[in-house]
Amino acid sequence: MNTAMNYLTVLVVFLLLAAPSLYGIAHDRRIDRQIKKARRDEEHPSHRARFETAA
């Protein structure tokens, strides 16, 4: 029982230390996807965008 509790304690401490870093990585990836999408849309506007500007 003591060994299991020790492993659980180490796992919880690790997750507490790693959580902010993992959150930051996920945030950076989301921003990168948004930048890529904006660049792609800027280079190749969709048919809808062309229709709206023509109207």
- Could you list the pLDDT tens digit for every one of the 55 residues in the chain? 899 999 999 999 999 999 999 999 999 999 999 999 999 988 876 666 565 565 5
**Residue 44 DSSP class:** S
C-alpha 50/C-alpha 42 separation (Å) is: 12
C-alpha 25/C-alpha 18 separation (Å) is: 11
pLDDT value at residue 9 = 97
What pTM was estimated for this model as a whole? 0.59
pLDDT value at residue 53 = 61
Number of other residues whose CB lies within 10 A of the CB of residue 17: 9
pLDDT value at residue 44 = 79
Please, where are the H alpha helices in 1-55? 2-43, 47-54
